Amino acid sequence: QEFQVRHVPRAGQSPERIARMAPSVLAVDITGSERFPFDLLRGLQSDAATTLVPVLALTRQPDPLMRAAAFAAGAEDVTHQGADPDELRSRIRTLGRLASAASRSMDAEATAQRLRQRLRERERELDDTRNLIEHMRLELHADNQTQRTRVQSLVQVGLELNKLQDFHVLMDRILREA
C-alpha cells in the first residue's frame, strides 16, 4: 500500500494533534459554510510543525469560490469529493513527492548553512594563524636585527682590542664595553 489514510474527527482536528501523527499529506474536507475548515487550514499553515505538510482540500462540488477560499487559507490543491479515485491517489502521491522534495531541499539548505558556518570559522582561524605568523615574523626580524647589531659591535671591539698594545688601555676599554 502506497499510503495510509486516517480519519480525524472534527474534535481532534488541531494543528498540534495532527503534527503528532506526522502526516506526509493532509486531505481536509472543507464542505459546508462553516469557518472551521478554513481556520484549520490557516492554523496548519501557521504552525511550524505542519506548515510543510501539503494539504489537499476536498469540496462536495467543484465551486470556484470554495477553491479560491481553500487556496487562500493554505491548501496546495483542491478537488471535489466525487473525483476519480485514481486521480485522487495521483494528487496525493504528487503532493507527497513535492513535500518530500521540499523537505530534502530544506535539509540540504540546512547542511549548506552549517558548512558555510564551519567555513567562516575556519577562515577566522586561518586569519588568526596568519596574524600570529606575521607577528612572530616581525618579532624574529627585530630580534635578528638586535643580535646582528650586538655581533657587529663585538667584532668591532675585537678588532680594536687587537690593535691596542697597552695593557691598561686594553683593560680600560674592556671594562667600558662590558
* pLDDT digits 0-9 by tens, 62-97: 778 888 888 998 899 998 887 788 888 888 888 988
Q: Are strands 77-80 and 55-59 parallel, antiparallel or unpaired?
A: parallel
CA distance 142 to 139: 5
**Would you say residue 109 has pLDDT above 70?**
yes
DSSP for 84-120, please give it: -HHHHHHHHHHHHHHHHHHHHHHHHHHHHHHHHHHHH
Instruction: Categorize the per-residue pLDDT at 20 as very low, low, confident or very high, splitting at 50, 70 and 90.
Output: confident
- C-alpha closest to that of 37 among 53, 61, 59: 59
For the stretch 116-135, pLDDT in tens is 999 999 999 999 999 999 99
> What does pTM read for this prediction?
0.57
**Burial (Cβ within 10 Å: 0-12, 13-18, ≥19) of residue 153:** exposed
pLDDT at res. 1: 46
CA-angle at 69, arms to 65 and 74, nearest 5°: 150
Backbone conformation region of residue 139, classed left if phi is above 0, alpha if psi is from -120 to 50, else beta: alpha
